[in-house]
Amino acid sequence: MHLPCTPIFRTAARSIWTYCLLILASICLIQPAHAQQSLETLQSRSIVVLLTVGIVIACVVLHYESLSWLTTLLKRIQLKPRRHILLLIFAILLLHVLEVWIFGIGYYLLISNEGHGSLVANHLIGFLDCIYYSAVCFTTLGLGDVIPTGAIRFVTGTEALTGFVLLTWSASFTFVEMERFWRS
- Dist CA 1 CA 123 (whole Å): 42
Neighbours of 157 (CB within 10 A): 12
Nearest 5 degrees, angle CA 40-CA 43-CA 48?
A: 125
Q: Which CATH class is domain 44-183?
A: mainly alpha
pTM metric for this prediction: 0.81
Q: pLDDT, tens digit, for every residue of 47-100?
A: 999 999 999 999 999 999 999 999 999 889 888 878 888 999 999 999 999 999
The answer to whether residue 158 scores a pLDDT higher than 70 is: yes
Q: What CA dihedral angle connects 42, 119, 103 and 163, to 10 degrees?
A: -100
- Dist CA 10 CA 20 (whole Å): 15
